[in-house]
Amino acid sequence: DTGVSQNPRHKITKRGQNVTFRCDPISEHNRLYWYRQTLGQGPEFLTYFQNEAQLEKSRLLSDRFSAERPKGSFSTLEIQRTEQGDSAMYLCASSLVWTGGPDTQYFGPGTRLTVL
């Protein structure tokens, strides 16, 4: 059973550039979440998908951020016109929704973004 994978693991970019991250969830997981984690803090929710539908976006997710999950499998998170405040670890998690209670989210290794 392969876990959640994320690429790239590290990204260094200059302010104003666009970046895109990819997340491949655990096979057959129908929910996919994006979180952001800054140093010394716990992860903060950004957005999530059920299959290919994006069902919720956090107010943290400015207009410069966009996420897609076109075929209900992998997802991409794009940040346009990056700012230094975007520097963080971007975590992806996937889960299998069931009717017996809350799903358990399994996290990938994250993509660490550094904006110079």
Partner 1 sequence: AQSVAQPEDQVNVAEGNPLTVKCTYSVSGNPYLFWYVQYPNRGLQFLLKYITGDNLVKGSYGFEAEFNKSQTSFHLKKPSALVSDSALYFCAVRDLVGGATNKLIFGTGTLLAVQP
Interacting residue ranges for partner 1, rule: CB under 8 A = 4, 6, 31, 33, 40-45, 48, 55-56, 91, 93, 95, 97, 101-110, 112
Least distance CB 107 / partner 1 (angstroms): 4
Question: What is the smallest separation between the CB atom of 39 and partner 1, expressed in angstroms?
Answer: 11
User: What distance in Å separates the CA atoms of residue 95 and residue 40, rounded to the nearest whole number?
Assistant: 25
Of 104, 100, 93, 95, give the one whose Cα is nearest residue 37. Answer: 93
User: For residues 58 and 66, which CB has a smaller minimum distance to partner 1 in the complex?
Assistant: 58
Q: Which is nearer to partner 1, 32 or 115 (CB)?
A: 32
Residue with Cβ nearer partner 1 (38 or 62): 38
Minimum gap (Å) between residue 58 Cβ and partner 1: 8
CB 45 within 8 A of CB 31: no
Rounded CA-CA distance 53/42 in Å is 26
Least Å distance, CB 70 to partner 1, is 21
Residues across the chain: 116
Rounded CA-CA distance 42/40 in Å is 7
Amino acid making up residue 1: D
Report the residue number, 93 or 113, with the smaller CB distance to partner 1. Answer: 93
